[in-house]
Amino acid sequence: MEATGRITSRDALIVVDVQNDFCPGGALAVPDGDAVIAVIHRIAPRFEHVLLTQDWHPPGHCSFASSYPGKKPFEVVTLAGGEQRLWPDHCVQGTRGAELHPDLRLDRAELILRKGFRKEIDSYSAFFENDHATPTGLAGYCRERGLGRMFFAGLAFDFCVGFSAVDARKAGFEAVVVRDACRAIDVEGSVERMEAEFAAREVRVVTSADLLL
């Protein structure tokens, strides 16, 4: 696997937000979102360590357009933590939409990290909330477990997967995104912006075929 190397015990596969609300029929469906599951299932056996993330919002969350009279999904507002794109209500705690997709079968997963549970701030990244200062605790967990390189898959490439990969680099880890194990929303050029951020932060992008050599 050119430039990526053999997968070792210091590597982890981080599967981001493969939840009902982000899959077809969900409140914030990513186009073809459930197609990532088969790819994830193919690559997961290569990893000794598999971690999952789960969006977990309280009702009335600050990222919901419904929390702002007159605002619509995909508009942008300014909050204390910076700019916030507004979304339809999604992944509300305890609802079916917040559950991991029933076809995702990763029983070996060692951790499910819930994020976005603070009402006043969103959390795209698995490592930091959207103020880019409040840690989720994942970096500490990975360091204590001796993990050094993170492979990312899931939903969505240009938001939660991408921000997680960039923040992994900021936290001192190597970061690799498995492109065909992700799908994107692509709002107003968000894919292009994320790809530029990957290049600037030295986030590698590979395909599942690279991992199966």
Among 11, 89, 115, 122, the active-site one is 115
Is 160 catalytic? The answer is yes
Side chain identity, residue 35: A
Residue owning tokens 């916030």? 84
Interaxial angle between packed helices 162-170 and 190-201, expressed in degrees from 0 to 180 and rounded to the nearest 10: 20
Among 11, 17, 55, 210, the active-site one is 17
What size, in residues, is the chain?
213
Among 62, 91, 160, 182, the active-site one is 160
Largest CA distance in the chain: 52
Q: Which helix (H) or strand (E) holds 179?
A: strand 174-183
Of 113, 140, 146, 182, which Cα lies nearest the Cα of 8? Answer: 146
**CA–CA separation, 117 vs 209, rounded Å?**
35
Which residues have a catalytic role annotated?
17, 115, 160
